Amino acid sequence: MKTLASIFFFLTLSAAAQLPLGTVTDIQPTACTEGFVGASTCHTATVSCPGVSDVAVTFGTKGNPAVGTIVFINGTGDTMPGGAPFFFQIYSEGGFSLAQFIFATDWEDGGNVLASACRPATILNFLRSTPSLPFCVQGASGGAGATAYALSWYGIPIDNAELLSGPVFSDIALGCRTPHAVPITVNPTNGSPFEDDPIYNQESSQVSAWTATSCLPRSSSTNKNLGSEVRQSIVQAGAVLSFPATNLSGWVCDNGENPSAAQAYLWFSQVTTPWNLTSISNCQGSEGVAEGVTPQGTTGSQAIADDMLAKCVKPQ
Whether pTM exceeds 0.85: yes
pLDDT at 45: 98
Question: Residue 65: its pLDDT value, please?
Answer: 82
Outline where the chain has alpha helix (H).
4-7, 85-93, 113-116, 118-127, 142-152, 172-176, 204-211, 223-232, 260-268, 300-311
Rounded CA separation 140/147 (Å): 9
Domain boundaries, the chain: 4-174+230-311, 175-229
Q: CA torsion sign, 90 to 94 to 95 to 99?
A: negative
Which pLDDT belongs to residue 15? Answer: 38
pLDDT at 19: 97
Residue type, 40: S
Q: Residue 289 has what DSSP assignment? A: G
Residue type present at position 213: T
Backbone angles phi, psi at 197, to 5 degrees: -90, 125
pLDDT at residue 146, rounded to an integer: 98
CA distance 234 to 108: 13
The DSSP string of 83-142 is --HHHHHHHHHTT-EEEEEEESS-TT-SS-HHHHTHHHHHHHHHH---TTS-EEEEEETH
Task: Give the closest residue to 286 by CA, choosing from 177, 181, 196.
Answer: 196
pLDDT < 70 regions, the chain: 1-17
Architecture of domain 4-174+230-311: 3-Layer(aba) Sandwich (3.40)
